[in-house]
Amino acid sequence: MNLIIDVGNTYIKIGVFDQSKIVAKKTIVQNDLDQEILDIHKKHPLIQQAIISSVSDLNPDTVKQIQGLYETLIVNHKIAMPFSNLYETPETLGIDRLALVAAAVDQYPQKNVLVIDAGTCVTYDFKNEKEEYLGGAIAPGIRLRYHSLNNYTAKLPLLEPKLPENHIGNTTNEAIHSGVVQGILYEIQGVIEEYCNIYPDLTVILTGGDAHFLSKRLKNGIFATSNFLLEGLNYILAFNNSR
């Protein structure tokens, strides 16, 4: 069994896999990670390996704790990946984006795949049918957009994300909801359409913390999944074990 740890900008996602099947998962804040690792160690004694992906600072003592319990692979730009990375500055590429591309290779081999990760940021990552990663785009996520309106204006309030009732907001709150949510939906749909113009057989994956919130308003034909990044990390671990 494998322990998968994804340290994001806001939360940490943890998954326990039995080969390619996820048997447990949890989302926590970083301060809870040390105790969570001990709890998992007791609850799942068959775990032998771990993989850590981090896009933010992770306490070195926590890393040592995990390494003391399991054979641990830490994802960086030097480890083997199951695809050709054609990104011109691979050392600046987010570790989480590598994991998403790995999941696309594993689950949609020899297909053109666009992975959209809607979290703190909205990232777009594309791999072609030759298993080549070409790159993508990075944009502000939903909450960043709400926070920016509040932080950089004098009087606009900070709101929680909400699907707007109408395209035309007739109050300031509804206008903000319409601008933020409709804006990000139009952005995502526009990016998908541009990719489809080049790759008509495109497969689109929507994942991340806001995936299900956004999928309610996006067109059909998009696969929404919450475990894609964890599955990608598990595949990277298996890929490196097989080498």
Return binding residues for substrate: 87, 94-97, 172
Model confidence at 220, pLDDT cuts 50, 70, 90, reads low
Average pLDDT of span 44-65:
92
- In the CATH scheme, what is the code of domain 2-74? 3.30.420.40
Return binding residues for K(+): 117
Average pLDDT of span 108-137:
96
Catalytic residue among 32, 61, 96, 210: 96
* Domain spans, the chain: 2-74, 84-233
Nearest to 233 by CA among 141, 130, 97, 116: 97
Q: Give, as one character, the DSSP assignment of residue 182.
A: I
pLDDT at residue 204, as a whole number: 96
pLDDT at residue 58, as a whole number: 85
Could you tell me the two tokens for 195? 């990719």
Question: Lowest-pLDDT range, 95-99, 129-133, 198-202, 220-224?
Answer: 220-224
Assign domain 84-233 one CATH number from 3.30.420.40, 3.40.50.300, 3.10.180.10, 3.40.720.10.
Answer: 3.30.420.40
Q: Is the dihedral of CA 241, 21, 33, 78 positive or negative?
A: positive
Return binding residues: 6-13, 87, 94-97, 117, 120, 172
- State yes or no: is 61 an active-site residue: no
Average pLDDT of span 14-42:
93
**8 Å CB contact between 70 and 49:** yes
Establish whether domains 2-74 and 84-233 are of one fold: yes
**8 Å CB contact between 106 and 99:** no
Q: CA 172 from chain center: how many Å?
A: 31
Longest dimension (CA), the chain: 59
pLDDT at residue 235, as a whole number: 97
Average pLDDT of span 41-65:
92
- Confidence check: pLDDT of 219 > 80: no
- Confidence check: pLDDT of 74 > 90: yes
Return binding residues for ATP: 6-13, 120
SS3 label, residue 15: strand
Q: Is the dihedral of CA 47, 53, 56, 57 positive or negative?
A: positive
Could you tell me the two tokens for 108? 């949609």
